[in-house]
Amino acid sequence: MITINSRTGCGFSRSLRAAASLSLALLAGCGTTQFEAKTAIPPPLVERIPVVVGVYLSPEFRDKVYREDRDGGGVAIAIGKAQSEGFMRLMTAMFERAVPVPSPEAGAGTDPAIRGVIEPVLEDFAFVTPADSGTDVYAVSLRYRVNGYKPDGQFTESWTFTGYGAAASGGMLGIGTEALQKATQLALRDAGARLATELREQAVIRGLMQQGPSVPASESPPP
């Protein structure tokens, strides 16, 4: 897991390499660096899981803006839209149907075919800059937890996974922000790949698959 321990600002230690100091100065300066994260998650080439699930995206998840203050500047990364669109795209591709629900408890009332409800949670957003690592690379890690619920909202299982991304800063003016944005995009893509390839084997999904075929949306569940 990548974490941040150092704090840097407009005045940099002489011990830092000149290139690292320049890249962080370009990133933070004496203000706030801000951008909207982009996602580029391709449709997963996996066999669909033959169940209908509800998908709950909390307001915090949908609207998430990661903020970090450092001496002399800060960072604000709007990641909510990108992670929400990417997660919903994957769920739609991976399951028989993925139905948005307004809460974890609303599965049964939203669609009788829903076998369970899935909720993604962003547990941690961390990044390092060239000034932190002494290299010319910006690196980002995103740790997610997927919660599983029964259609009535009873919690069942959870699964945690992490996506990583890195991009070289280069020596071009303004490349710091672009490199951090690219590293964030790659971390989202890596998280999506892990979700697509590993979710089926997790207890949070195996329990749904063991309950038998889904009930068609036009029918009522058996008494």
Q: Edge-to-edge, what's the strand order for the sheet holding 137-149?
A: 95-100, 49-55, 114-128, 137-149, 155-168
218, part of any domain: no
14, part of any domain: no
219, part of any domain: no
195, part of any domain: yes
With bands split at pLDDT 50, 70 and 90, how would you rate the model's confidence at 208?
confident
- DSSP-based three-state secondary structure for 130: helix
221, part of any domain: no
Q: Two tokens at 22?
A: 């320049």
Given a contact cutoff of 8 angstroms between Cβ atoms, the answer to whether 100 and 116 are in contact is no
The proportion of the chain whose per-residue pLDDT surpasses 90, expressed as a percent, equals 58
* Amino acid (1-letter code) at residue 170: G
pLDDT of residue 204: 84
How does pLDDT run across 167-206, given as a tens digit for each residue? 998 754 445 788 999 999 999 999 999 999 999 999 888 8
DSSP 153: S
Q: Taking 50 as the threshold, does the pLDDT of residue 129 lie above it?
A: yes
- DSSP-based three-state secondary structure for 116: strand
* Amino acid (1-letter code) at residue 137: V
8, part of any domain: no
Q: What is the pTM of this model?
A: 0.78
How does pLDDT run across 15-50, given as a tens digit for each residue? 333 333 334 444 444 467 888 998 877 777 888 999
pLDDT of residue 73: 74
| Residue numbers of the domain that contains 64 | 19-40+48-209
pLDDT of residue 220: 40
CATH number, domain at 26? 3.30.160.150
Structural domains of the chain, count: 1
Q: How far apart are the first and last CA of the chain?
A: 48
pLDDT of residue 69: 86
66, part of any domain: yes
Cα–Cα distances in angstroms (integers) from residue 191 to residues 171, 184, 199, in the given order: 28, 11, 11
Parallel, antiparallel, or unpaired: how do β-strands 73-78 and 32-36 relate? parallel
59, part of any domain: yes
Given a contact cutoff of 8 angstroms between Cβ atoms, the answer to whether 17 and 163 are in contact is no
Highest mean pLDDT among 7-11, 65-69, 141-145: 141-145
Q: Two tokens at 36?
A: 């909207």
